[in-house]
């Protein structure tokens, strides 16, 4: 373009995430995609676990050994949050698809509700899971 040559500067490209102040709408939208990708990777763990269970005690022990390592537990905690977030925000998306809750005030309120619900459900699931481990 002529202007580009005249100024010698690259023209701004869109979307240009760096110059926008993060807002709950954009952050949750990005997080929805990020958790979706993370959960897709998590399916590898699920398939490993299922195939190991079908293969026998030795294979299952090595899968279980990875899951119960500190790194495995860290991944599992991340996937728990990713699952609850994607689930809760997915329900929010389904309401939008039905034409509900599209006023800006409602969008902000449902966004914070999703954050609270996914955080709360993650903590709850781990409390119940860790409590059940002892019995």
Which spans of this chain sit near another protein (rule: CB under 8 A)? 33, 36-37, 39-40, 43-44, 46-47, 50-54, 56-57, 60-61, 80, 83-84, 87, 90-91, 93-94, 97, 125, 128-130, 132-133
Tell me how far, at minimum, the Cβ of 6 lies from another protein, in Å: 27
Closest CB to another protein among 95 and 112?
95
Contact (CB, 8 A) for 93 and 111: no
Classify 121 in phi/psi space as left (phi over 0), alpha (psi -120 to 50) or beta.
alpha
Contact (CB, 8 A) for 66 and 72: yes
Identify the CA nearest to 82 among candidates 113, 52, 40, 27.
40
Closest CB to another protein among 37 and 116?
37
Closest CB to another protein among 25 and 62?
62
């Amino acid at each position: 373009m002529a202007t580009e040559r005249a100024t010698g500067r690259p023209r701004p490209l869109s979307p240009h995430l760096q110059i926008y102040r993060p807002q709950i709408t954009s952050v949750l939208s990005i997080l929805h995609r990020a958790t979706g990708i993370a959960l897709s990777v998590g399916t590898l763990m699920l398939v490993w676990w299922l195939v190991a269970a079908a293969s026998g005690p030795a294979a299952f022990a090595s899968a279980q050994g990875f899951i119960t390592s500190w790194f495995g537990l860290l991944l599992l905690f991340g996937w728990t949050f990713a699952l609850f977030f994607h689930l809760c925000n997915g329900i929010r998306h389904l309401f939008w698809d039905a034409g509900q809750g599209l006023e800006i005030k409602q969008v902000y309120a449902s966004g914070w509700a999703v954050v609270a619900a996914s955080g709360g459900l993650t903590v709850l699931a781990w409390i119940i899971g860790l409590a059940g481990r002892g019995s």
